[in-house]
Amino acid sequence: MNAIPFSVLDLSPVPMGASVADALHNSADLARHAEGLGYRRYWLAEHHSMPGIASAATSVVIGHVAAATRHIRVGAGGIMLPNHSPLQVAEQFGTLEALFPGRIDLGLGRAPGTDGATSAALRRTLAGSADHFPADVVELLNYFGPADALARVRAVPGEGMEIPVWILGSSLFGAELAAELGLPYAFASHFAPDYVVEALELYRSRFRPSDRLAKPYAMVGLNVYAADDDATGRLLFTSIQQQFLALRRGNPGLLPPPDGEIEARMSPQEAAGVRRALAFSAIGGPEAVRDRIAALLALAKPDEVMVAAQIYDHAARKRSYSILADVLRDSGLGTLGA
């Protein structure tokens, strides 16, 4: 098995007892830490009306993180395109690329990243938004094309900029679209792993080379909760279990501290649902994390891995990424610093 790059996905978690300002400060600090460890990218995700996630204004937070780092690629994993006009996204990311040349990535998703009422507040209308996603992606790509002084609408900044654009997804739809457009593809297996193998196989089999990408390039999401021992890793993991449970019960909130008794408070159906959603996870001490990552890489065969870790304690979160870096170097499963 060839070693592959590993990157970081950050939802800017807001832990209980902390503020949004604390969460954004922690994101910049974790990005510097990840950069020092050699992770390839640092992506932030767009979610709305969720008290435990501080990255709603994703392009603003990307600028904050890029300014706090020196060379790590920073981007969106992703921007939910139906919430925005393609021109707005082109201008925002053109501005980021102008400020941080050669370091900005743009991942695009078609989900709302929130509930229906908030979607309506964001968009003012929900008519056909997700259905227009392929056309909106093409429009956005065109705004990044060569400057045309005769064009009636121009993305300034944006036009003529070589900003990598990714398609994100958790179903076969995104895989097929990324293949058709010749774009890199990222699968959200860290919270929806059911179709990861099928989606990557579809993407690779139908990929059409483009000016942007000569051959398919697929990334998968992976939760990693690494600690010095298995018991501590499992305890850290209980924060995201609680957060997923609250979301499924319709009551999203701040990221809670670890709770070793959380599974006992779930119904069998809830426990099965949370377990299924978070199945693409590596949890425990270094050996357990290594073995689990090896198994998941053999299953999905990705070209890159994006690691998420919703850990309550910031120091423990940084420690998890450090342990993972050591595991990758010692095992040869992943490359850092590439």
The domain locations on the chain are 4-231+280-335
Query: Is residue 204 packed enough to be buried (19+ CB in 10 Å), middle (13-18) or exposed (0-12)?
Result: middle
> 189-223: per-residue pLDDT in tens?
999 999 999 999 999 999 999 999 999 999 999 99
Q: How many CA atoms lie within 13 A of 71 on its CB side?
A: 8
3-state class (DSSP) for residue 299: helix
pLDDT at 49: 85
CATH 3.50.50.60 given to domain 4-231+280-335: no
Report CA 110 to chain centroid distance, whole Å: 14
Name the nearest CA neighbour of 76 among 111, 105, 113: 105
pLDDT at 2: 76
Copy the structure tokens of residue 3.
């070693």
- Please say whether the beta carbons of 15 and 254 come within 8 A: yes
Using the predicted structure, report yes or no on whether residue 124 has a pLDDT greater than 60. no
Q: In the predicted model, what is the mean pLDDT of residues 121-143?
A: 78
Query: Using CA atoms, how far apart are residues 64 and 91, in angstroms rounded to an integer?
Result: 17
The percentage of the chain sitting over the pLDDT mark of 70, rounded to a whole number, equals 94
Q: What is the pTM of this model?
A: 0.94
Using the predicted structure, report yes or no on whether residue 114 has a pLDDT greater than 90. no
